[in-house]
Structure 1
Amino acid sequence: MSDLEEKIKRAPPLYFLAGGLLLAAVYYMNYYDGGARAEKQISNINIELVKIRKDVADVEGLTSNMAQYEAELNSLAEKFEVALNYLPSQENIYVIIKQLYLEARMNGVNITSVKPSDKLLKQDFYEGMPIDIEFSGTYEQIMAFLTKVVNLPRIINLKELLLSLDTKAGPATTIIKAKGKMLAYRFVEQEVKK
């Protein structure tokens, strides 16, 4: 046996106990931090958890409002479709004139002159199409005709309407001559700017 082994065998057990305690103390001082590192990790995880919960709450808030936004978008789309029906994009001026003649004939009004203007009144998203018109009929016929024109499924405004009595008509009926300007509108699709 070697010298070292002999010394270890003869050493009192108290030395081993003191050496073990010394090693435990060195380990405790250098490596064991009383759980501070674990507490710091738990604290960081809790902070992350709070952030994740906030993000989840934000997403849930957005998704709960999503149905409301979709309903509002659908409502606006329906209103836009209705507006486009009153403001068609491909409407030709002669289609409008045909509608005017049809309504006049159905209400007993005689259209004597219709002159569409070549000059279109351009705005941001629509164009105005002016029409000079002259017609005659009884008061009731004219009012019924104008009511039908107003109720056409499109926007037509009546401007500068002048009414006068037709002196050539006999005394049995009162015929009114009307002269004015109508303004029909159509939607102009704009190019998307890039």
Structure 2
Amino acid sequence: MRILIALVFIVSIVGCKSPEARYPVSQNSGSYIDESVERNKEMIAQEEDYIKQVMGKNTDTEYLNSADGFWYYYNNKSTDSTNTRTPEFGDIVVFDYTISSIEGEPIYAEGEKPTREYAMDKEKLFTGLRQGLKLMKTGETVTFLFPSHKAFGYYGDQEKIGSNEPITAKVTLHEIKEESNQEPKN
């Protein structure tokens, strides 16, 4: 019996040892991520150069450069001095838009995309369009030129827009409704 008690005592002392950290069998240097970052920087630079070439061919249009990394021009700019409000977080905006390739080939023509109600920054919408709407006032129509990372990126829209495709979006903002306590529509 003493042997059994001694054995239990020894096992309990040895069993209370804290666990040791397991180390990985191999370690990655992170070079794959570094290479991917470089490829993406090159791709973005090429897209931006191409967009600038396309803009250079249209000398009649005054392009504006956004701080968010895309270009735009006004098709219809509000001249009403009382119309100064732009959408803010949570506001509901009502808008129509068309999407074309950078060269102007229609991808989603007028009427193909329904009029959309969108709760600013509370629903899903591709990055460039979300940022572009914040520049607009009620009644304005603006054409945006988005590099692919501001549009649908690597995945495209999984319908008509391919991977890493820069696009042009012509947007008409019909209405800005101030934020309310109602649930946004999807």
Structure-1-length-normalised TM-score: 0.26
Q: Larger Cα Rg: Structure 1 or Structure 2? A: 1
Q: TM-score, normalised by structure 2?
A: 0.27
Pick the structure with more helix per residue: 1
**Structure with higher RCO (Cα < 8 A, 6+ apart):** 2
